[in-house]
Amino acid sequence: SQTIHQWPATLVQPVGSPLSLECTVEGTSNPNLYWYRQAAGRGLQLLFYSVGIGQISSEVPQNLSASRPQDRQFILSSKKLLLSDSGFYLCAWRAGVPGELFFGEGSRLTVL
């Protein structure tokens, strides 16, 4: 069966520090991968999505970036965190366009 893992679960970082959140999917190949951010009291904001290795679409131009170095690995990064980057980050995958999204457990980022 397919599983998705996301880490770290909790992160507290100072302003200006780098960020790396990692997500891996098991039990499937060539998944569509997504990064969302959920700020307090708000909905899910799509940050990046990828339909294949090296193919990244950015929805929100800001100081975050994403990479897909392997088929089932999706990484969210920042060189310098801002206070506004605080939030709950969710990685998700699906097998194809009609399919439902399967979400990871989420990563709570607090930038101080």
* CB closer to other proteins, 10 vs 70: 10
Residues that bind other proteins (CB under 8 A): 32, 34, 36, 42-46, 49, 51, 57, 59, 88, 90, 92, 97-98, 100-101, 103, 105-106
* CB closer to other proteins, 57 vs 79: 57
The token pair at 47 is 């940050």
In the complex, the smallest distance separating the C-beta of residue 108 from other proteins, rounded to whole angstroms, is 9
d(CA 64, CA 1): 31
Cβ-count burial 91-109 (b if 16+ within 10 Å, e if not): bbbbeeeeeeebebebbeb
In the complex, the smallest distance separating the C-beta of residue 5 from other proteins, rounded to whole angstroms, is 14
* CB closer to other proteins, 18 vs 52: 52
Q: How far is CA 42 from CA 1, 10, 39, 77, in A?
A: 32, 19, 5, 22
